[in-house]
Amino acid sequence: MRKVIIALALATALVAVAAASAALPHAGTRFNGTTSAKSVNGFGDDMTFLAGARSLKAFSFGTLGCFGYGSFPVGVDPYADSLAQFRTSIPVTAKGTFAVKSVVVSWNGGDAGTKLKVSVTGAFTSATSVKGTIAVVETAANGGSCGPSKMTFTAAPGKA
């Protein structure tokens, strides 16, 4: 009887460990997805990152900022020409959640004097699915600012 109880306790512990680790992605997996930003010229806003062991690397997404800029020629994807990219990784907890606040990102949209600060929160709902929110605050060279402009995102391995 004692062996059965020990075996049952061990099996329960293994199931609990497996369930806890199921919320973490496999390191080296490229995740692609879309944000809730409005489509422009028929183009949606894509986002991507590379999952590390306990971090998100090369997190990037298209953004027009919150001021917006210029006109959008027909047939041109404005989000592809306006990428915000994290220079640092985003830490992921053991439970698969992540959050960073007001990180200055590189951005090839707008003019050279414009700066973006981005906050990202989210969680892995499984090893192959993630949901989150991106908030953008934009500061112009003249000191004007706007935001936060918020959008949600979902992503999965290889899904665009």
Tell me the per-residue pLDDT of 60-73, one tens digit each, with 9 for 90 and over: 999 887 766 567 77
CA distance 153 to 122: 9
| Residue-by-residue pLDDT tens, the chain, 160 positions | 555 455 444 454 444 444 444 589 999 999 999 999 988 888 999 999 999 999 999 999 998 877 665 677 788 888 887 889 999 999 999 999 999 999 999 888 767 788 899 999 999 999 999 999 999 999 888 888 888 999 999 999 985 5
DSSP string, the chain: -HHHHHHHHHHHHHHHHHHHHTTSPPTTPEEEEEESSPPBTTB--EEEEEE-SSEEEEEEEE--TTT--S---TT--TTTTSEEE-SS-EEB-TTSEEEEEEEEEEE-SS-TT-EEEEEEEEEEEETTEEEEEEEEEEE-TTS-EEEEEEEEEEEEET--
Specify whether the backbone of 147 is left (phi greater than 0), alpha (psi in -120 to 50) or beta.
Answer: left
